[in-house]
Structure 1
């Protein structure tokens, strides 16, 4: 990809990961994932590759606690 990654909506993240939009919203509330930006209207936009990395890191942290 060139200089900047394409930002996608929570619905697109959910579809790509095979989860519901509500799950994506819960991950944001729990600070498991972080939006790349938030629009003036309050809509979160995500870098899908960054979300995947954040989920991998979260999984590693969870395994380390067990």
Structure 2
């Protein structure tokens, strides 16, 4: 069975951040969009996004933003 893809709202709830932040991060290329659904709605893989945000936080801590 394949992984379930999350909407920006579902992802925001899982990560404890705003939906607007999710959309901004995706638009800025900071997180990967797994699929663009009909109507232009983004779908995300939770595990992939968690890893990307973890790597981004590590880079910022190291001063390499």
User: What's 2:36 paired with?
Assistant: 38
Q: How does 1:1-66 map to 2 (within 5 A)?
A: 2=1, 4-65=2-63
Q: Which runs of 5+ in 1 are unaligned?
A: none
Moved more, 46-55 or 26-35: 26-35
Q: Where does structure 1 differ by over 3 angstroms across 4 or more consecutive aligned residues?
A: none
Whole-angstrom distance in 2 between the partners of 1:54 and 1:28: 11
Aligned CA-pair RMSD: 1.4
The offset of 1:22, in angstroms, is 0.5
